[in-house]
Structures are given as structure tokens and as C-alpha cells.
A and B are shown apart, each in its own frame.
Chain A
Amino acid sequence: MTPYAKIFVILAAVPVLLLACKGPVESTQLIVDTDACTGCGECVEVCPYGAIEVIDGDAVIDPSLCHFCYRCVEQCPEGAIY
């Protein structure tokens, strides 16, 4: 890895890691990591509010229906919702 690449990685990693270690912060919507989501639909099945559907192979959360019960976070086998 070139020195520039190393500096780039460190610059990108340090603030994110510091923020990630900070603890829970405010959030208005859950996030679906579309790279990790396999579209298995387990989140759809546990969502009691019918707020999730698999569209084009990825879970999509409707922000107007999500009640933040976090059942999808707990159920997702890939840890793709957070």
C-alpha cells in the first residue's frame, strides 16, 4: 500500500471508529445495508407494522410506517439493519 493510500485509510477510519464507539445517537430512520442484505425476507415476516418489503432483492423500510420496535434488527441473519 502506498503512503497516500495509508493516510487515506487512516483519515477515513479514525473519525468513524471514534464516533462508532461514542454510543447511541439520535436517529430518525433505520438503515438497510444493501450490500449485506440477501433479500431473505425474515425482516418482513417479523415486522408487526407491515413496514418492510423486499423490492428488487433488498429490504426496503417505509419510514412512515416504521415504529422502531427493532424486531427486524434482532431477526436479520446478516446484521444488515441498524
Chain B
Amino acid sequence: MIRKTLPLLLLLPALVFAVTLDGWMDVQTGGDSLSPEPGRLELGGMLGTENWVLILEEQYSYEDTSGIVPKFLNTYSQTDIDLIVNAGPVTINPDLCWTVDLGDKPEMVLPVQAGVAYREGFIRPGLSLAADISEDFLLFASGFYWNRDLKQEDGYDLAWTEFRVNGGISCETQGFTLTMSGLHHKTKSDFIDYESTWGRFDIALSTEPQSLPANFYVTGDVTYSFYDGTNFLGNDLSDRFTSRIRLVRMIIPSLAVNTTFESVFDYDGVIRLACTSAESRILYRFMRSREVPSVITLSGKLSTSSIRTERAALFSRINFYRGLSLLLNAEARSTPTSIAGAGDTRKRIMFGPGLEYQLGSTLRVWGIIEQERTDLEEVEVWWRVRTGLEFYPGSLSF
């Protein structure tokens, strides 16, 4: 017995040497007179060494169904376990994710021709692999099997499963990255005899030019996606060409401008414009020598596809005493809406002050009192309180 246990006892310190333990917590809650108590609690932990990392995340969510935007979920918990193992140039990452419905009313969904069904949870095992085959080439593959527990009102199980696998190769050289990847997705429901399969093959080129003027940063990428499959109407999915360019210019050390342009074209024998969008963000940091730097962010975004969205936002954090800061959040948005009687678009303005306390990188507590004015059949106004707590106690090594 001693002969067997002694080597293990001698080996144990070496095995646990340099093991790092991390943990974190994030709580967010809020609500207004129409959506009283949405909330979320996330707990996470990470244990690992240089060669392996085990991550456990637990999320508890509550969404009420009385909101002005109909919600279909009540209370659920989600657990996600990831194991990442580095074996030389190969990284192996098996993971398992599942949800359990905790409320008295399960989530309602409308899965294609099945009518109304209820989701009571899901389980999703997955596996990712990556291998550096040389300094410039990376091979990657991942996939999951997803079993969603969907039941009709009369209790019949739809046996709804999805299978997704993708893989590819990327090559990086002289500031350019070329990626070729394929994706296969299959949805199957035996009870309603439904089966949908679609696939995609992407060729993507991205670049980050290195020889640029000082304080000027550009990234660009173009992707052509070949689609094979149909949408819910049975129409073929068009191939898609996406291009995006991001320009970042630091005008002075405290002031940066970040602009992104995107255009998307569909091709199904005819080239059609599918989407254009432009976004600009101005970031001004000041009082940087204080415990918490102050910041003002001004942003605007415009997109046009089959719908049009507009968004303008202002966020500021002004530090006034140690870790205490005054927050100010203002946002104006225009989006399509599904609210009956609201017309095609929903225009809303949100505005509110808040308070935040940061204790280094360990703790962040914040609260915002916000007013929203939404233009429905008539302008409706309500108040909302949003609060959050982020806690990161730091790493423990032993």
C-alpha cells in the first residue's frame, strides 16, 4: 500500500505546482413599471496550469414576461464547463453546456411548422481542436451536438436536435490573414418529420497594415460566403460578400476617433445590395492620473438593410473622489418594432445619471436611474433602475 501511495504523494506537489485558481461574479438587475424584475447572476471559476485550464461558469437568469417587448423566458440556470488542454502545437477544448428551466412557465418557441412549443432546457456537448502546423498556418475545427427539449402543449416531445461542425485553415503572413473554412449545420425533429440542412464555405482575407503614420490604425477584411441551403420559406440562401474597414485615429493622446464602414452584397445570379452600415465613435479620456480615469464616449451608427436602424449614444464617467465616479448615459434609437399599434419603427430616447464605485480591478458596483421615452401610439414615459456588481477577487497560485 505504501509502495503504491508514496510515488503518488511525491508526485502530487509537482502536479499541483503553479496551479492557478481564478473566480469572478457578475450581478445585474433592474426594471421599470412594465418589466419589473429582470436579473442575471453569473458565477465563474477557472483552475489551470500552463498545460490545461478548466473553466466552470454558472448563470442564473430571470426575465419577466410583462414587458412592452414580449419575452418568452422565465427563470433558468445555465452551466458551462470547458476544458482546454495544450499538447504542444495542438489545443483540445471539449465543453459541455446545459440549461435547466427553473420557472413555472417554460420558454415558448415557434419551431417552424410545429406550432407552439415549450423549451424546458437543452444540453450541448461540443469539441474544438486547433493545431499550429507551422509558424504561419493554423488548422482548426469545432462542432457540437445540441439537444433542445421542445415539447408541444399536449406534452409531445419534438425530439429537436441540431448538429453543427466547422473547420478550416488560416495562413498569416506580412500583415495579411487568409482563412478558408466550411460549416455544416443540420436541424432535425423526428416527431414533426422536419429536417433542414445548410452549409457555408467562407474565403476571408483580413489585413492590418503595419506601415502607417503614427497614431493611425486600420483593419480591413473581406469575406465571400458560398451558401448551400434554404431559409424558412424554402428560398435558396444567397451567397454573400461582406467587406468591412475600421479606421482608428488618435488625434491627441486623450482623444481617439474610431470609424467602421461595412457593406454587404448578396449574389444569387444577380448582385444585390444587402446592407450598408457606418459607425463612428469618439473617445475622450481625461484626468488619467486619478484612481479611475474619466471618459466621455460619443457614438453614432446608421445601418440600412431590409430594415433601417439609427443609434446615437453618449456615455460619460467622471471620477470625483477615489473610486467614486458619476455616470451619465444618454441614447436615442430608431429600430423596427413588433409592438402592436406602434407603427413600423420604434423611436426611443433614454437618459439617466448614475453612480459607480471601483476598487481597483477587484470590485465594481454601479447603478443608473434612467428614463425612457418611447413613441408608440402615444409617447410613453417610464423610469428604470439598472444596477450591477462585478467582483473579481484575483488569482490564487499554489
Contacts and interface: CB of A to CB of B under 8 A. Distances in A.
Majority secondary structure, B binding face: strand
A64 B335 contact: no
B317 interface: no
A31 B261 contact: no
A52 B33 CA distance: 28
A68 B246 CA distance: 28
Contacts of A23: 304, 308
Interface majority SS on A: helix, strand, loop or mixed? loop
Interface in B113-152: 119, 146, 148, 150
Nearest to B76: A45
Contacts of A27: 264, 266, 274-275, 305-307
Interface string B194-214: 001010000000000000110
Listed residue (A64, A69, A75) with the most chain B CB atoms within 10 angstroms of its CB: A64
Interface residues of A, number: 47
Given A24-B305, A28-B238, A46 B71 contact: yes
Contact of B266 (A26, A46, A69): A26
Interface of B: 61, 63, 69-73, 107-112, 119, 146, 148, 150, 185, 187, 196, 198, 212-213, 216, 227, 229-232, 235, 237-238, 240, 245-247, 249, 259-264, 266, 272-278, 301-309, 311, 333, 335-338, 346
Given A45-B63, A73-B336, A79-B333, 16 more contacts: A19-B263, A19-B276, A20-B303, A23-B308, A25-B304, A26-B272, A29-B240, A31-B264, A31-B303, A45-B107, A63-B231, A64-B198, A73-B307, A73-B335, A79-B301, A82-B305
